[in-house]
Amino acid sequence: MSACVFCRIVAGEIPAARVFEDDACLAFLDIGPLQPGHTLLIPKKHYERLTDLPADEMARLGQVLPRLARAVMAATGAAGLNLYQTNGAAAGQVVPHVHFHLIPRRQDDGLGFRWQAGKYGSGEMDSWRARIAAAFQTEAAAHERHADTITL
């Protein structure tokens, strides 16, 4: 993935202000921070979207995220923190490599998030619940079949 900027950072081809690194993941400061201390956490292996990420890779990132969040907050003196992750251009993903933004927040820091909550019509919520639950069951069954084909 030589064209991927994050893969190039992992490979050391592009410099980055690294704050944490292990065999599976890398955390570094965002070069276009929304706030000082804005940090990115990425898997070292290339996966474009969260939906492509194997469970064991996500588990490793999940082990690091709380510690990294505490470190960012302690170092910046932030009162809060946003964890932000996007998948696909329609969701605002600019770099096609899974990454998590840890953005330190202060009261009245001028950052915001447009959350324009809607409402479900009569019966619509249950319809969406059923569709998502069915898709999840299909995914779970596919995962189970895949796990059965793995031999050690």
Q: Judge contact between 29 and 37, C-beta under 8 A.
A: yes
Is 99 one of the annotated active-site residues of the chain? yes
Q: Which two tokens stand for residue 137?
A: 């069951």
Q: Which two tokens stand for residue 13?
A: 């081809």
Q: In what order do the strands lie in the sheet with 18-21?
A: 18-21, 25-29, 39-43, 100-105, 80-84
Q: Catalytic pick from 97, 99, 101, 146?
A: 99
Q: Tell me the C-alpha distance between 12 and 19, whole Å.
A: 14
Q: Which two tokens stand for residue 30?
A: 């965002």
Q: Judge contact between 36 and 30, C-beta under 8 A.
A: no
Q: Which residues are catalytic?
A: 99
